[in-house]
Amino acid sequence: MTEPHANTQISNSASVSGFSGPDKPSYDDYARCVHCGLCLNNCPTYKLWGQEADSPRGRIRQMILVDQGRLPLGDAFVTHIDRCLDCRACETACPSGVEYGKLVEAARAQIEQNYQRPLFSRLARDFVFRRLLPYPNRIALVARLLRTYQRSGLQSLVRATGILHLLGLAGRERLLPPIDRTFFFSQLGRTYPASRPRRARVALFAGCIAQVSFSALHDATIRVLTANGCEVVVPAGQLCCGALAAHAGVRDTARSLAHVNLDVFLREDFDAVITNAAGCGSTLKEYDQLFAEGTEDHAKAHAFRKKMRDATEFLAELGLSGHGRLLLRIRRLLQRHRNGNLARYFGGENETRARNQRPRHRHGQSGMSVTNARGSANPFHRARSRARHRTSGPRAGEKYLSCILSQASPVVPALLSYFSPMRYRQPRAPMRAECTAPAGTSQRSPAA
Ligand code: SF4
Ligand code: SF4
């Protein structure tokens, strides 16, 4: 047991803890923190405000004090815990292996159970976490309203009136993602066959907001997987992963969503369950934390965790085939030219250095060579500038090749996408879907 916390247990037994009920930060988790502060500079809120109370170490300390009964679970505690982004950048810096995400989500669960927020906040949280996100039909309805708001010109009008600033909603409104024309909900229950000899059978986790705002990403993921020999099933009946609810401390909703998803994805034997959203993926891989050890759901979550893969993680394990290998070869070819004489000739050396090598500072030298210097005095800048502005004549092609080599132009994505199955924003129609809903499921898809 860690020495600095030896007195914590004594205090816990002697005073009334501010935490009660299920889902509270556990001593075993917070006792790992040795208060070294190595996480501080990784924390965006600490960098922004420079206050210990808004750092991971400070927040853990506050959790300990509340657990000891030495700090009330009141406004100050709630403010500092709420300000945490739950980005978990502090976890990667921590030498003690503190699972900070687990701690802050448990602290938020305690706030949800034992603290009364203002009325508007309670209503808004109740609507979003309990009455909207768990219901695909309601998400689709709200998305349609937002799409009308965004595409009818109403958004520009409302912004111009300044009413959003008066209501304090301008910042939040700016964060609204663009809503897609068609929603991915209509793809639930479909199976996409592998476009080459089958190497794996996988299930795609589609999420909630992603189905109305990132459906093109799902389409691209399916194209890449099928092109790499995967049969992709998009199981019907799947719901939001519950990450947003879990991050906000609404654990009952997160738990019930996890329960449904575990049933849906463990119903069939897939080689992997694929996600393309890191936020969803981290919660899906940690479903076991939502359930008590020894329960049936905990065992299911453990089995599910073994199958969960990010799309890139899965493809890296599987190995790219066909188009993917061609794409990599083109990338390597471009990289070689960018690093070579051809790139220098076309003025690409500056960018090559800036992007591929950090400036090399040696003792007694500035580290800035002629070719590294910025500004119009640099001969390579001038040469490149001339090449870019030349649109005709014997060396006109130079401009385009220069752009390709420096990856400064949309030509590169266009070129690569021609060879690659990753063609974004393509209509969904060309994709073939065979067999509809898996046996025993009803297809209740709220089409766009
Ligand atoms: S790096 Fe880890 S052990 Fe050190 S203060 Fe941060 S959370 Fe605690
Ligand atoms: S999870 Fe919270 S405490 Fe950790 S780095 Fe992000 S904002 Fe800071």
On the question of pLDDT at 334 being above 60, the answer is no
The CB of 86 under 6 Å from ligand 2? The reply is: yes
The verdict on 137 and 74 lying in the same domain is: no
Q: How confident is the model at residue 200 (pLDDT cuts 50, 70, 90)?
A: very high
Q: How confident is the model at residue 252 (pLDDT cuts 50, 70, 90)?
A: very high
Residue 291 vs residue 410, higher pLDDT: 291
Distance 58 CA to ligand 1 centre (A): 10
The verdict on 110 and 150 lying in the same domain is: no
The pLDDT of residue 323: 61
List the domain range (segments joined by +) for residue 46. Answer: 27-116
Distance 4 CA to ligand 1 centre (A): 13
The verdict on 107 and 66 lying in the same domain is: yes
Task: Examine the fold and report which residue of 132, 157, 174 is the final residue of a domain before the chain moves on.
Answer: 174
On the question of pLDDT at 25 being above 60, the answer is yes
Task: Examine the fold and report which residue of 132, 152, 174 is the final residue of a domain before the chain moves on.
Answer: 174
The CB of 94 under 6 Å from ligand 1? The reply is: yes
The verdict on 62 and 78 lying in the same domain is: yes
The CB of 89 under 6 Å from ligand 2? The reply is: yes
The verdict on 73 and 94 lying in the same domain is: yes
Tell me if 247 is assigned to some domain.
no
CATH number at residue 99: 1.10.1060.10
The verdict on 124 and 104 lying in the same domain is: no
Per-residue model confidence as pLDDT tens digits over 110-128: 999 999 999 999 999 999 9
Tell me if 32 is assigned to some domain.
yes
Query: What letters, b where the CB count within 10 A reaches 16 and e where it falls short, cover 292-306?
Result: eeeeebeebbeebee
Tell me if 231 is assigned to some domain.
no
Q: How confident is the model at residue 332 (pLDDT cuts 50, 70, 90)?
A: low
> What Cα–Cα distance (Å) separates residue 162 from each residue in 148, 149, 242, 274?
20, 16, 34, 42
On the question of pLDDT at 1 being above 60, the answer is no
Mean pLDDT throughout 287-310? Answer: 94
The CB of 4 under 6 Å from ligand 1? The reply is: no
The verdict on 67 and 86 lying in the same domain is: yes
The verdict on 41 and 84 lying in the same domain is: yes
AA letter at 211: Q
Find residue 232's DSSP bridge partners.
192, 202
- 9-18, 32-41, 89-98, 313-322: the lowest-pLDDT one: 9-18
The CB of 227 under 6 Å from ligand 2? The reply is: no
Ligand nearest the Cα of residue 48 is: 2
Find residue 8's DSSP bridge partners.
none
Q: How far apart are CA 91 and CA 109, in angstroms?
A: 20
Tell me if 48 is assigned to some domain.
yes
The CB of 81 under 6 Å from ligand 2? The reply is: no
Q: How confident is the model at residue 204 (pLDDT cuts 50, 70, 90)?
A: very high
Q: Which backbone phi and psi does 288 adopt, to 5 degrees? A: -60, -25
Calculated CA dihedral for residues 180, 181, 182, 184, nearest 10 degrees: 0
Mean pLDDT throughout 358-368? Answer: 36
The pLDDT of residue 196: 86
On the question of pLDDT at 26 being above 70, the answer is yes
Q: How confident is the model at residue 335 (pLDDT cuts 50, 70, 90)?
A: low
On the question of pLDDT at 434 being above 60, the answer is no
Task: Identify which of 45, 60, 79, 108 to mutate to test ligand 2's pocket (most ligand atoms within 8 A of the CB).
Answer: 45
Tell me if 108 is assigned to some domain.
yes
Tell me if 398 is assigned to some domain.
no
The CB of 35 under 6 Å from ligand 1? The reply is: yes
Tell me if 366 is assigned to some domain.
no
Number of domains in the chain: 2
Distance 171 CA to ligand 2 centre (A): 21
Q: Is 332 left (phi over 0), alpha (psi -120 to 50) or beta?
A: alpha
Residue 264 vs residue 429, higher pLDDT: 264
Tell me if 143 is assigned to some domain.
yes
On the question of pLDDT at 6 being above 50, the answer is no
The CB of 38 under 6 Å from ligand 1? The reply is: yes
On the question of pLDDT at 164 being above 70, the answer is yes
Q: Whose CA is nearest to atom 2 of ligand 1?
A: 94
The CB of 48 under 6 Å from ligand 2? The reply is: no
Q: State which of 33-42, 410-419, 427-436 shows the largest mean pLDDT.
A: 33-42
Distance 36 CA to ligand 1 centre (A): 5
The verdict on 67 and 110 lying in the same domain is: yes
